[in-house]
Structure 1
Amino acid sequence: MTGLFNNLKSEINKPDNALVKLILLNSVVFLALLLLRITFTLLNQASVYQWVLDLLRVPAALPELARKPWTILTYFFAHEDIFHILFNMLFLYWFGRLIDEYLGTRRMVALYILGGLAGALTYILVYNISPYFQGVVGTSRMLGASAAVYAVTVGAATLLPNYTFSLLLLGPVKIKYIALFYIILSLAQSIGPNAGGNLAHLGGALLGYFFIKMLQTGNDLGKPIYAIGNAWERLFRKKPDIRVTYSARTVQRNAGYAKPANPGKSVEMPDQDEVDSILDKISQSGYESLSKEEKQKLFRASQRK
């Protein structure tokens, strides 16, 4: 058990490891909810578990949302069903890895968070304006990272539409077709038993598409997320010890914060020789042979007007 906690601590402390941290956070919340559900069910206090769950689920009803505004964030880190979290985390890893490699860690996190927010807003908006949902708006609540994962999935498919995954029984399949299949599936189920969840999927997918399209024109929708992340890091960054240097005439004190490295910072715009070299490498060895920096340079070059 000690070895497991040490391994988890090591993974959490690694730099440029936001994708693994997102998966770990979702997994920890799932396990905590599972233990609470088992415990309170055995104690014949299932209502207590439901009360805890409602602190995380985003409600469709506006009065309840006003009392629990934090749920528009917490809902996309919480799952109840094991297969729900399993497939969400698998898709997040597969497609999030591509965003991380080509656009950097910060943009992958921003895409996940903005996708979750877009999913919540779509769900709330449609449930409150559509006559079809008026009878259930007061009792409907949603949880799960699907909208955030859809944003990452569609974002990756928009950025790299012809990138292929080798699927069991199907062989190589371009990711644009994988994303399209799941969008159509959610659209077909948008008036079914899980209508709210599928509507959120579509909201997340739309955000993922526009995030990449805007980024390709030089407009980064993730800037507010980066600013919040930077402020959070500054708030909790440990101050270095004060160093006191004595000289014959003066006493000098140096203190302050070390400037953090920006793991998600975009590389500089490459020149034409660099681009030609990267393209030659692709023609000889394929996309997979590129380093993370080369992939980001290729993307930056595609933004030239």
Structure 2
Amino acid sequence: MAAADSPLFRFQLWRAALPPALRLLLTVNLATYLAYVVLALLAAFGVPALAVVDWLTLPANPQAVLARPWTPLTYGFVNAFGGFFGLISFVFGFYWLQWMGRDYEENHGAHRLFGLYVLGALGGALVGLALGAVLPSPRGVYFGLWTPVTAVLCAVATLHPDRQIGLFLLGVVSMKWIAIGFVVLSLVFSADLTVLGAALAGVLFARAQRAGRDPAAWAAPFFGARRSRSAPTPSRNPFKRSDPVATPAGRPSKRGASGASGTALTVDQILDKILEKGYESLTKEEREALDRASRD
């Protein structure tokens, strides 16, 4: 196990504290972005490595999709963001998925976040291809996590339209206006037609939840959840966490921990338990301790 003050240990803490579906989605998206960077470097030296990426992105021309029928799903996991501004775009998308996805999953379950992400990508592809069929000579390809992230954003905004979120330079804004503004800006600056379909998918997904249905019931077996068509009522408000219990020294208390070495030992035991039995095996106290340690 890495040292308690090392970047690797901090990364292990952060990753272990993530709920299972979000951990999977973030890991896949980070892996595909790093793979694209490596392939782009190889291409700079004359190796035709980027052809692999071309077979996973979604063509804007519907006729081209017939030769690659898997792309309406795979494009939502392929992050072919090039250059410095591409890096910035990926980092922001990654952060938004981590921010909204964590609270959504903790309130509604792992399989619902995963199902929302996948259905958002498919909904975006359906609308993007439908519009591409009527627009003159559609060009380019669609890719990246921003389309399914839009579905997550719009689902959260539909479930909690008046929830107030503080944004840098903009102040406190309601979730519904954040979602609307995001979709409009995406269309203006990127002309990404899949965003429309993802937004619609997110809204319909959340409305189905409100009606007591579970549109992601098909994904329940992947996360050890019992398959059900009904959606339970959230147990707590999203975007809100209980405050850690502070010790007199101002640091969160941990059972069985005394000083830095005791804290590391406790977290090590929790990490080992996750590796052996999975995140879902943790008790409430262990999850709270891991979450506090990841934010220290």
Task: Normalising by structure 2, report the TM-score.
Answer: 0.68
Q: In the alignment, residue 104 of structure 1 is paired with which amino acid?
A: G
Rounded to whole Å, the distance in 1 between the matches of 2:183 and 2:97 is: 16
Rounded to whole Å, the distance in 2 between the matches of 1:269 and 1:83 is: 36
Rounded to whole Å, the distance in 2 between the matches of 1:73 and 1:2 is: 36
Q: In the alignment, residue 29 of structure 2 is paired with which amino acid?
A: N
Partner residue in 2 for 1:40: 43
Partner residue in 1 for 2:218: 224
Greater Rg, structure 1 or structure 2? 1
Whether the aligned pair in 2 keeps the contact of 1:105 and 1:263 (CA below 8 Å) is: no
Q: In the alignment, residue 32 of structure 2 is paired with which amino acid?
A: V
Match of 2:195 among 197, 201, 213: 201
User: Shift in Å at residue 83 of structure 1?
Assistant: 1.9
Q: In the alignment, residue 33 of structure 2 is paired with which amino acid?
A: F
Local SS of the residue matching 1:218: coil
1:124 aligns with 2:129: yes
Match of 2:108 among 69, 93, 103: 103
1:148 aligns with 2:148: yes
Match of 2:22 among 19, 22, 25: 19
1:214 aligns with 2:219: no
For structure 1, the residue ranges without an aligned partner over 5 or more in a row are 234-259, 294-305
Query: Structure 1 residues 211, 204: CA separation in 2 closer, same or farther (over 3 Å shift)?
Result: same
Rounded to whole Å, the distance in 2 between the matches of 1:267 and 1:211 is: 11
Query: Structure 1 residues 269, 152: CA separation in 2 closer, same or farther (over 3 Å shift)?
Result: closer
Aligned residues: 235
Rounded to whole Å, the distance in 1 between the matches of 2:218 and 2:197 is: 19
Q: How does 1:225-304 map to 2 (within 5 A)?
A: 225-226=219-220, 230=221, 260=224, 288-289=241-242
Rounded to whole Å, the distance in 2 between the matches of 1:146 and 1:66 is: 24
Rounded to whole Å, the distance in 1 between the matches of 2:75 and 2:12 is: 25
Percent of paired sites with the same residue: 29
1:159 aligns with 2:155: no
Q: In the alignment, residue 129 of structure 1 is paired with which amino acid?
A: V
Rounded to whole Å, the distance in 2 between the matches of 1:266 and 1:14 is: 27
Query: Structure 1 residues 171, 155: CA separation in 2 closer, same or farther (over 3 Å shift)?
Result: same
Whether the aligned pair in 2 keeps the contact of 1:104 and 1:265 (CA below 8 Å) is: no
User: Shift in Å at residue 23 of structure 1?
Assistant: 1.2
Rounded to whole Å, the distance in 1 between the matches of 2:242 and 2:62 is: 50
User: Shift in Å at residue 84 of structure 1?
Assistant: 2.3
Query: Structure 1 residues 14, 287: CA separation in 2 closer, same or farther (over 3 Å shift)?
Result: closer
Rounded to whole Å, the distance in 1 between the matches of 2:30 and 2:229 is: 28
Comparing 23-32 with 163-172, greater Cα deviation is found at 163-172
Comparing 163-172 with 30-39, greater Cα deviation is found at 163-172
Whether the aligned pair in 2 keeps the contact of 1:59 and 1:141 (CA below 8 Å) is: yes
User: Shift in Å at residue 203 of structure 1?
Assistant: 0.9
User: Shift in Å at residue 15 of structure 1?
Assistant: 8.2
Whether the aligned pair in 2 keeps the contact of 1:107 and 1:264 (CA below 8 Å) is: no
- Higher relative contact order (CA closer than 8 Å, sequence separation 6+): 2
For structure 2, the residue ranges without an aligned partner over 5 or more in a row are 82-86, 244-283, 285-296
Pairwise CA RMSD of aligned residues? 3.5
Rounded to whole Å, the distance in 1 between the matches of 2:230 and 2:185 is: 35
User: Shift in Å at residue 265 of structure 1?
Assistant: 10
Match of 1:31 among 30, 34, 50: 34
User: Shift in Å at residue 149 of structure 1?
Assistant: 0.3
Rounded to whole Å, the distance in 2 between the matches of 1:8 and 1:262 is: 31
Query: Structure 1 residues 60, 106: CA separation in 2 closer, same or farther (over 3 Å shift)?
Result: same
Match of 1:114 among 112, 119, 122: 119
Whether the aligned pair in 1 keeps the contact of 2:53 and 2:80 (CA below 8 Å) is: no
Partner residue in 2 for 1:185: 185
Rounded to whole Å, the distance in 1 between the matches of 2:35 and 2:72 is: 20
Whether the aligned pair in 2 keeps the contact of 1:153 and 1:208 (CA below 8 Å) is: yes
Local SS of the residue matching 1:117: helix
Rounded to whole Å, the distance in 2 between the matches of 1:38 and 1:73 is: 26
Rounded to whole Å, the distance in 2 between the matches of 1:160 and 1:50 is: 41
Q: In the alignment, residue 113 of structure 2 is paired with which amino acid?
A: M
Rounded to whole Å, the distance in 1 between the matches of 2:55 and 2:61 is: 14
